[in-house]
Amino acid sequence: MPRTRIVVLPFLLAALPAQQSTELTWHTDLGAARKLAAEKKAPLLVVFRCER
């Protein structure tokens, strides 16, 4: 079934996961990131971005 391609606020999507920042490291494995967050006592920011 064809699905409607949805255009999402471009700047926000571009800004977060594609951030070319030297300060932010983006993890892809949530389990590993949770262990790291526990060690660092840091909160997690988990971004779910559908690529469709």
User: Which pair of structure tokens corresponds to residue 41?
Assistant: 């006592």
Radius of gyration of the chain (CA): 14
Given a contact cutoff of 8 angstroms between Cβ atoms, the answer to whether 47 and 14 are in contact is: no
CA–chain centroid gap for 33, Å, is 12
CB of 47 to another protein, least distance (A): 5
Name residues contacting another protein, limited to 4-43 (CB under 8 A): 4, 6-9, 11-13, 15-17, 19, 21, 23-31, 33-38, 40-43
| Footprint of another protein (CB under 8 A) | 1-4, 6-9, 11-13, 15-17, 19, 21, 23-31, 33-38, 40-52
